[in-house]
């Protein structure tokens, strides 16, 4: 599991650790991690000796890290230029070290010198600002970020701690931000690096351990890995039968969208539930049974028999409000997706997982879709609090927010999932995990993780996978995460 901490938590841990270390030692640990990554990148493109490095240094410690790293690379034979955003406030020791290593300072006002240094650079260090950054980049900082965005350098852009201009705690970019190829981050992850649009601006992540771990609190925000997901997946023991493995009800699909019923039921059948009961119109139920003879079908939630959780909403269309209310009113764990989101209660009192995409969440919260895309974490959290439900916001970096403040960010997302019907598969899968006894946060995170891997696997097979391809890839993904079911 990877942990994500807030600026406030990082600052407190940094203070506690620094009190035990000689002056400047913590920064040198950070610089050592940064230089290791830069040297590796430069070796891949011809070597450190003779390489051209440009350091963009703001007035804080982020600029200090970058200047020290520039100094160390210069000592190993690189030509280093530094652009100081505020020469009077530049990190004094870092600048002295940079100069005595032979580094050259280029004025931020020397347009010609600046452009020529950037154009020739093999590597650009973005030390404009780190966790001290607030709001959109201002003045010269914004101008430099724009030059990098315009592709004025062919060199790799390496962000120090985080890409400048990305809000550390939210991943939002209120103004211009640096688009990095790599980011070397110190001590712990920040939301800026895992939530879009920040995550996209960070490029490839590298982690430098500076010994902060023992001083950091338990993280509210985490990123699960394979082992976490494997441990959460329900493991049907030898004694379990179809009922003890959980029965999931699927209220999805319509004459207009019968495919949604087929895909959601398919997702549910793969999620480990012992049985799937489908509720919907006869014609749709017939299609579901033809594709999945193992599913039980009936015309309404009341008619299909007992279940342990409901998946509600994919492709439901209009006129199903009574069915939705019946399923929601059964007092069981529920997953609500797509059209089901139109009929939410004021607040949930039992376990609930909502799975909107940005457009659906924007309608729920009555804000613009672009506002949701720009502030994904904020809006997912707001909806979680308002409905007392776990909110899984789909899209570029899927985030899950729980009403108690916990957040999980899914690391397996892929643009391959941007195809009609993939959300129906996810809804079925997550509902099945709910029926298997997982909490809404665990069911949602496990489903999103496996679904993302299935998307990647399907994309490797067919380039532009359909929802059916993603569904077909799920069993192999789940098998590789969990191992074979049934003690085999
Ligand atoms: N924590 C750790 O464990 C360790 C931390 N380390 C490093 O320290 C970094 C944090 O350093 P930091 O606290 O000095 O702040 P930093 O990010 O350099 O920014 C402050 C400067 O930015 C400016 N500024 C702000 N917003 C702006 C804007 N929108 N547009 C333009 N300017 C803006 C602000 O100006 P002001 O608002 O004060 O006028 C001020 O001058 C951290 O990210 C890591 O790299 C490692 O060395 C060791 C371990
Ligand atoms: K930075």
pLDDT tens, position by position, 151-166: 888 899 999 999 999 9
Write the pLDDT tens digit of every residue in 167-217. Answer: 999 999 999 999 999 999 999 999 999 999 999 999 999 999 999 999 999
Clarify whether residues 298 and 410 are in a common domain: yes
Clarify whether residues 356 and 398 are in a common domain: yes
pLDDT surpassing 80 at residue 243 = no
The CATH number assigned to the domain holding 432 equals 3.40.1190.20
Give residue 245's pLDDT.
82
> Does the beta carbon of 185 lie inside 6 Å of ligand 1?
no
The beta-strand segments (E) located in 107-192 are 123-127, 156-160, 182-186
C-alpha span between 419 and 294 (Å, rounded) = 26
Band of pLDDT at residue 416, cut at 50, 70 and 90: confident
| Ligand 1 nearest-atom number relative to CA 59 | 41
- Domain of 441, in residue numbers: 226-482
Going from the Cα of 160 to the center of ligand 1, the distance in angstroms, rounded, reads: 10
Average pLDDT score over the chain: 95
Tokens 């690391």, residue?
Answer: 411
Give residue 149's pLDDT.
85
> Does the beta carbon of 138 lie inside 6 Å of ligand 1?
yes
Give residue 341's pLDDT.
97
| Ligand 1 nearest-atom number relative to CA 134 | 26
Q: Tell which one of 23, 29, 58, 206 to mutate to probe ligand 1, the residue whose CB is within 8 A of the most ligand atoms.
A: 58
User: Is residue 356 a part of any domain in this protein?
Assistant: yes
User: Is residue 404 a part of any domain in this protein?
Assistant: yes
Average pLDDT, integer, range 285-295: 96
Clarify whether residues 210 and 234 are in a common domain: no
> Does the beta carbon of 135 lie inside 6 Å of ligand 1?
yes
Average pLDDT, integer, range 206-232: 97
Give residue 285's pLDDT.
97
By alpha-carbon position, which residue is closest to atom 29 of ligand 1? Answer: 137
Clarify whether residues 196 and 236 are in a common domain: no
DSSP character for 447?
H
By alpha-carbon position, which residue is closest to atom 23 of ligand 1? Answer: 133
E strand or H helix at 47, and its extent? none
By alpha-carbon position, which residue is closest to atom 33 of ligand 1? Answer: 133
Q: What are the DSSP calls for 283-299, one per residue?
A: HHHHHHHHH-TTSEEES
The region of weakest confidence among 202-206, 308-312, 412-416 is 412-416
Going from the Cα of 127 to the center of ligand 2, the distance in angstroms, rounded, reads: 4
Going from the Cα of 453 to the center of ligand 1, the distance in angstroms, rounded, reads: 36
pLDDT surpassing 50 at residue 17 = yes
User: Is residue 215 a part of any domain in this protein?
Assistant: yes
pLDDT surpassing 90 at residue 418 = no
pLDDT surpassing 60 at residue 311 = yes
User: Is residue 488 a part of any domain in this protein?
Assistant: no
**Could you tell me if 125 and 73 are in contact, meaning their C-beta atoms sit under 8 angstroms apart?**
no
Q: What percent of the chain has pLDDT over 70?
A: 98
Clarify whether residues 334 and 188 are in a common domain: no
By alpha-carbon position, which residue is closest to atom 9 of ligand 1? Answer: 62
Clarify whether residues 174 and 246 are in a common domain: no
Helix count and strand count (H, E) for the chain: 18, 18
Q: Could you say which of 202, 222, 242 is where a domain stops?
A: 222
Q: Could you say which of 179, 198, 222 is where a domain stops?
A: 222
Clarify whether residues 382 and 348 are in a common domain: yes
Nearest ligand to the CA of 188 is: 1
| Ligand 1 nearest-atom number relative to CA 14 | 3
Residues annotated within a binding site for AMP: 394-398, 423
Q: Tell which one of 62, 94, 174, 176 to mutate to probe ligand 1, the residue whose CB is within 8 A of the most ligand atoms.
A: 62
Clarify whether residues 169 and 270 are in a common domain: no
Average pLDDT, integer, range 293-314: 95
Average pLDDT, integer, range 280-299: 96
Clarify whether residues 61 and 163 are in a common domain: yes
Give residue 415's pLDDT.
87
Going from the Cα of 24 to the center of ligand 2, the distance in angstroms, rounded, reads: 19
C-alpha span between 292 and 275 (Å, rounded) = 11
Q: What are the DSSP calls for 390-423, one per residue?
A: EEEE-SSS-EEE-TTS-EEE-S---GGG-STTHH
Give residue 488's pLDDT.
43
Give residue 150's pLDDT.
86
User: Is residue 487 a part of any domain in this protein?
Assistant: no
| Ligand 1 nearest-atom number relative to CA 212 | 3
Band of pLDDT at residue 486, cut at 50, 70 and 90: low
User: What is the total count of domains within the chain?
Assistant: 2
């Amino acid at each position: 599991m990877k942990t994500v901490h807030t600026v406030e938590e990082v600052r407190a841990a940094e203070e506690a650790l620094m009190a035990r270390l000689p002056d400047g030692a913590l920064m040198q640990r950070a610089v050592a991690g940064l230089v290791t990554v830069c040297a590796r990148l430069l070796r891949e493109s011809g070597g450190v000796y003779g390489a051209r490095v440009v350091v963009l240094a703001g007035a804080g410690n982020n600029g200090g890290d970058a200047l020290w790293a520039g100094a160390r690379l210069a000592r190993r034979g690189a030509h280093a230029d530094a652009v100081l955003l505020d020469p009077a406030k530049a990190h004094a020791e870092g600048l002295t070290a940079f100069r005595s290593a032979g580094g050259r300072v280029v004025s931020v006002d020397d347009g010609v010198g600046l452009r020529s240094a950037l154009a020739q650079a093999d590597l650009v260090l973005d030390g404009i600002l780190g966790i001290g950054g607030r709001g959109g980049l201002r003045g010269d900082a914004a101008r430099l970020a724009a030059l990098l965005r315009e592709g004025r350098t062919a060199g790799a852009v390496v962000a120090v701690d985080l890409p400048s201009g990305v809000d550390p705690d939210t991943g939002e970019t209120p103004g211009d931000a640096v688009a990095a190829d790599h980011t070397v981050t110190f001590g712990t992850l920040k939301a800026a690096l895992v939530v879009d649009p920040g995550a996209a601006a960070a490029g490839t992540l590298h982690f430098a351990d500076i010994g902060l771990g023992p001083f950091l609190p338990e993280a509210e925000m985490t990123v699960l890995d394979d082992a976490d997901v494997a441990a959460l997946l329900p493991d049907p023991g030898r004694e379990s039968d179809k009922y003890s493995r959980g029965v999931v009800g699927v209220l999805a699909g319509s004459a207009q969208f019968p495919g949604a019923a087929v895909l959601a039921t398919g997702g549910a059948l793969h999620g480990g539930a012992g049985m799937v009961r489908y509720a919907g119109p006869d014609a749709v139920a017939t299609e579901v049974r033809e594709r999945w003879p193992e599913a039980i079908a009936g015309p309404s939630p009341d008619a299909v028999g007992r279940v342990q959780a409901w998946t509600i909403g994919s492709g439901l269309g209009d006129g199903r409000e009574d069915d939705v209310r019946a399923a929601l009113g059964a007092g069981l764990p529920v997953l609500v997706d797509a059209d089901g989101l139109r009929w939410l209660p004021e607040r949930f009192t039992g376990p609930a997982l909502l799975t909107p995409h940005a457009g659906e969440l924007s309608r729920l919260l009555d804000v613009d879709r672009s506002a949701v895309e720009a502030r994904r974490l904020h809006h997912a959290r707001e909806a979680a609090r308002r409905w007392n439900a776990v909110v899984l916001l789909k899209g570029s970096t899927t985030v899950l927010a729980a009403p108690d403040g916990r957040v999980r960010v899914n690391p397996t997302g892929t643009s391959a999932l941007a195809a009609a019907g993939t959300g129906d598969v996810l809804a079925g899968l997550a509902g099945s995990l709910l029926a298997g006894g997982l909490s809404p946060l665990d069911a949602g995170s496990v489903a999103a993780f496996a679904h993302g891997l299935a998307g990647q696997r399907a994309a490797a097979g067919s380039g532009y996978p359909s929802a059916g391809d993603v569904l077909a890839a799920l069993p192999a993904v789940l098998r590789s995460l969990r191992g074979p079911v049934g003690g085999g």
